[in-house]
Structure 1
Amino acid sequence: MTKKSSSTILLTRGTGLNQGDRQMFEKVGWQTVTVPLSVICPLPITPTMAAAIRQADWLVFTSQAPVIPVLQEAKLGVQIAAIGTKTAQAVANAGFPVTLVSPQENKKALADELKAKLPHGAKIVYGKSQLADSALEEDLAADFQVTSFVVYENKCPRESRENLWQLLAKGQVQAVYLTSPSAWQRFKAIYEAAPKQTDVPLQLVAIGATTLAAIETAGYQGILKKDWLAHAG
């Protein structure tokens, strides 16, 4: 993707989760600026949730956020599936081995991998945020016993809204890296309200197919991270 020497890409993950992204984009010559569009608020693990976690054959993680609270209730030897390498690393950092990592960072790829590798009827537990849809559970329901529950809330910090509005109003970013449909929706609301300094549209870089679909459904043009990186620099 062509750029000017001063081009900057906006990173939107929660605080403490952007280091790998920063290194990735700076390696191909882009400056980075971070405005977290989410803050993670853990919810209590209820006795019912804890029992389900301990009885699970497999724990499934589609985000780094629920890793610690869920694994605090997990039994040794439980099998674990992660949606991508960053989530898998978070599991490993918590002291648990990862059995399965999806080949792409999206729920469809993860579900397909689980259906190909797991025995029929396996007990799966999936902890998620209040914003997550039920697509993964629905995809797996015919083959496995799936239990899901909300273990954290994903909220947008008020100060981030103000900081992002200022960056957009001043035309200080040329691209934005979006890692979930919820991040896109929050970004879109602020972007559409901010005055534009240029008619050149932002490059909307999506982590995976699910986020890209959310961008395109809203009538915008996006590009997958892997395709963007292939032309960056």
Structure 2
Amino acid sequence: MNRDLPLQGKKVLVTRNKAQAQSFGKKVKDLGGEAVLTSLISFRPALSSDRAPQFQADIGQADWLVFTSVNGAKFFFSYMEDHGIGISAASRAKVAAVGEKTARYLEDRNVRVDLIPERYIAEELAEALRQKVGRSDKVAVLKGNLSRDVIKETLTPFGVDISEWVLYETVPDTEGLRQLKDAAAREAFDFVTFTSSSTVHAFMSILKEESKRWAEKGTSFISIGPLTKKALSEYGIPSTMPEVYTIDGMLDAMCSISRKGE
């Protein structure tokens, strides 16, 4: 096998949202693999227009803006644009991002990121914030409907004023679920990848028993981080988790598994 193409001959099922799956699939292809894309979840706006004045006032008073995902950042900018709110409205706030991809998205839009945790999970972000924020500081958390309340639960006991803004919600992708059924009926996969626990649950609603058989036959399941790994384990599916909780980390893990199997 060509060492520059460690996924040569490998078929990878990418279960990521349609808008985000293309880049993942291209990276698989660049490593010699074949990616099959099935979008199992989609996202839609959750914050109503009548809350725009309150939202603008809240971020204007915040000492910190906290972004728990790239989607949170995307919907933040979309909501701001749709309601004529300039980013200058939040100029006094420092910014925290859960990981490098979220930080990059923000910085590409001229927002300086002041804090990124060493590990890209909510607990690490909350702990990093705890060491930075002052008592009575105001923190606005920009999140989705499935995001946990880790930051609020961690910081509130220290007197930090927390507001949470649910900017988007996660819903099943009906067409993608149908495509998953079709793909499972005709394909065999070397790797199945998951980038969120919500995707795991959507997948298992269709292919729970099939997944167990795939695992027994040698399919490797790749989870992006601890919560996704935990979700898979609840269905009895072991998975490999990268050291760095990113797409590139997942690709490195697949390459390592592939090379060991040579």
Same fold by TM (over 0.5)? Answer: yes
Q: Is the 8 A contact 1:174 1:203 kept in 2?
A: yes
- Give the match for residue 34 of structure 1: 37
For 1:154-165, what aligned pairs fall within 5 Å after superposition? 154-165=170-181
CA separation of 1:77 and 1:10: change in aligned 2, threshold 3 A: farther
For 1:140-219, what aligned pairs fall within 5 Å after superposition? 140-143=155-158, 144-192=160-208, 199-219=216-236
Shift, 1:16, TM fit: 2.5
CA separation of 1:27 and 1:139: change in aligned 2, threshold 3 A: farther
Deviating more after overlay: 47-56 vs 182-191: 47-56
CA separation of 1:176 and 1:77: change in aligned 2, threshold 3 A: farther
Q: CA RMSD in A?
A: 2.6
Shift, 1:195, TM fit: 9.1
Q: Is the 8 A contact 2:60 2:92 kept in 1?
A: no
Bigger Rg, which one: 2
Aligned residues: 231
- Give the match for residue 125 of structure 2: 110
Partners of 2:154 and 2:234 lie apart in 1 by 21
Q: Is the 8 A contact 1:165 1:194 kept in 2?
A: no
CA separation of 1:30 and 1:102: change in aligned 2, threshold 3 A: farther
| Greater relative contact order structure (CA < 8 Å, 6+ sep) | 1
CA separation of 1:7 and 1:14: change in aligned 2, threshold 3 A: same
- Give the match for residue 101 of structure 1: 116
Partners of 1:24 and 1:122 lie apart in 2 by 42
Q: Could you tell me which of 131, 134, 139 is aligned with 1:119?
A: 134
Amino acid at match of 1:133: R
Q: Which runs of 5+ in 1 are unaligned?
A: none
Q: Deviations over 1:27-69 (max 9, x none)?
A: 5443222212221111335132332222111111111122144
CA separation of 1:82 and 1:189: change in aligned 2, threshold 3 A: same
**How high is the TM-score relative to the length of structure 2?**
0.77
Shift, 1:131, TM fit: 2.1
Q: Which runs of 5+ in 2 are unaligned?
A: 1-5, 244-248
Shift, 1:179, TM fit: 1.4
Is residue 9 from structure 1 mapped to residue 24 from structure 2 by the alignment?
no
Higher helix residue share: 2
Q: Is the 8 A contact 1:171 1:196 kept in 2?
A: no
Amino acid at match of 2:183: L
- Give the match for residue 144 of structure 2: 129
Q: Deviations over 1:41-98 (max 9, x none)?
A: 1133513233222211111111112214434244224211111111112212232111
**How high is the TM-score relative to the length of structure 1?**
0.85
Partners of 1:25 and 1:101 lie apart in 2 by 27
- Give the match for residue 103 of structure 2: 88
Shift, 1:22, TM fit: 3.3
Partners of 1:207 and 1:146 lie apart in 2 by 28
